[in-house]
Amino acid sequence: MFMQMAVTGLVLGSIYMLVASGLTLIYGIMHQVNMAHGVFFMLGAMATYYATEVIGLPYFVALFAVVLVFPIIGAAFERGIFRNIRHIWLAGYMATVGVWMLMEGLGWQVFGTEQKAVSFPITGLIRLPGGAVLPANKLWVGLIAIAIMAGVYYLVGRTALGRQLRAVEQNPRAAELMGINADRAMAKGFALGVTLAALAGGLVSTLYSVDPSCGSTPMLKAFIIIILGGLGNVTGSVIAAYILGFIDSFGGSLLGYQAGHFMGFGLVILILIFKPSGIMGDE
């Protein structure tokens, strides 16, 4: 049982890490808490559903299509709504709430109330020592999540775009003086965050069911993670994701579901009170 709990914790941690990555990036670059993260997750899942189950594309082609389409959607939202108001933190926050409600409400109208499912192409069961089992689809989703996270690290740490984003994050005005178009860089950052959310939706929805509110629970988890990790701190959120994965797994298995839920939020309050910069913060 211990082995099984550890495996479940690792899988949940990887999933949470992927779900939280987009949220962390958008806060890190734009200092905006994106409450619409869950609907972008949902839209990614829906897009994958329609591409695979309705149109009939292979699963990974559908995921690739998500990667191609969602940067445009993200950039459009940034240009249309968020750009003009991002200097007022509350307006930015509430605008994302507005987008969330609008898109979820429309989602119920457009996609209907019936729950849907996306099937993952790889199936099977892997038996591990210690009596633990790991479904192949969860293993692959976890591995792809880690690969995507590595990609994000490379993009932010090693490329010209990443340098722009980091410069804008540190000081938008100074970045502009250095010849970076801060508006455009932020649009790119937002588009990247939205794409990561949608990609997480496309991947994680294969494990669960898809409906227009399927992004709410993942978003809640993502919020706990980015607060624990320190808002905007990518490494912190990766560590926090695995901590939460283990809390949910061990807490849920040993104490029951509600206890795990309570512990997550309790940790958030403690962190916010005593170390608002998060577990990895250097305050």
Partner 1 sequence: MRISLKSIGMTVKLLAIVALSAGLIMSPAMTGGVQAEVKKLKILSNNPFSGKAASWGFSQDRGVGLAVDKVNQAGGIKINGETYMWEKIQCDNRYIPADAVSCLKRGVAQGAKFMCTLGGAVTKPQIPLINKDKIVTIAAIAGGADFTNANNKYLFRTMPSADLTIAIEGIKIYKKLGVKKLVLLTADNVLGHSDAKTLKNALKVNKMSDILVAEEFVPIDTGDFTPVLTRVLAKNPDHIEGGAWPAAGLALLIKQARELGYKGTFTNLSGAPKVGPLVKIGGKKNVEGVIMLRLWPPDQLPTQAFKDYWAEYRKLYKQDPGANSWESYMAFMHLSAAVEKAQSLDPDKIVAVMRDLKIVSLLGELQLIGKDNPLLPGYGINNQYTSPLPVTVLKDGNPIIYK
Partner 2 sequence: MNSRLAPYLTALAVMAALALVPPLIKFIAPDKWELTAHIGIKILLNVGFGLCLWMMLQAGELSLGQGGFITIGAYTTGILVAKYNLISVVWLGYLAGALAAAVIALMLGYLIVHLKRIFFLLVTWSFAEMLHPVLTSFEHPFGGAMGIIDIPAPEGLTLFSESWTGYYYLALIYGFAVLWIVWRIAGSKVGLITKSIGQNDTLVTFCGLYVRKYKVMIFVLGCFITGIGGGILASYLTAISPETFTFFTSLDIIMFNLIGGMGTMAGPIVGAVILSGLNEYLFAAGYWRMVVYGLIIIFFITLLPGGMVSLPAALRKRFTRKTKKQEVGLG
Interacting residues toward partner 2 by CB under 8 A: 33, 81, 84-85, 88-91, 93-95, 97-106, 108-109, 220, 223-224, 227, 231, 258-259, 261-262, 265-266, 268-269, 272-273, 276
Distances from the Cα of 115 to the Cα of 129, 137, 221, 283, angstroms: 36, 20, 21, 45
217 lines the binding site for partner 1 (CB under 8 A): yes
Closer by beta carbon to partner 2, 67 or else 220 = 220
135 lines the binding site for partner 1 (CB under 8 A): yes
Side-chain-side CA neighbours of residue 210 (13 Å):
29
DSSP 85: G
Closer by beta carbon to partner 2, 50 or else 111 = 111
Closer by beta carbon to partner 1, 95 or else 214 = 214
60 lines the binding site for partner 1 (CB under 8 A): no
Q: Among candidates 185, 173, 180, 191, which has minimal Cα distance to 78?
A: 191
- For the CB of residue 241, give the shortest distance to partner 2 in the complex, in Å: 17
- For the CB of residue 248, give the shortest distance to partner 1 in the complex, in Å: 6
Tokens found for residue 283: 């305050």
Residues in contact with partner 1 by the rule CB under 8 A: 1, 4-5, 8, 11-12, 108, 113-117, 119, 125, 133, 135, 138, 207-209, 211, 213-214, 216-217, 248-254, 256-258, 260
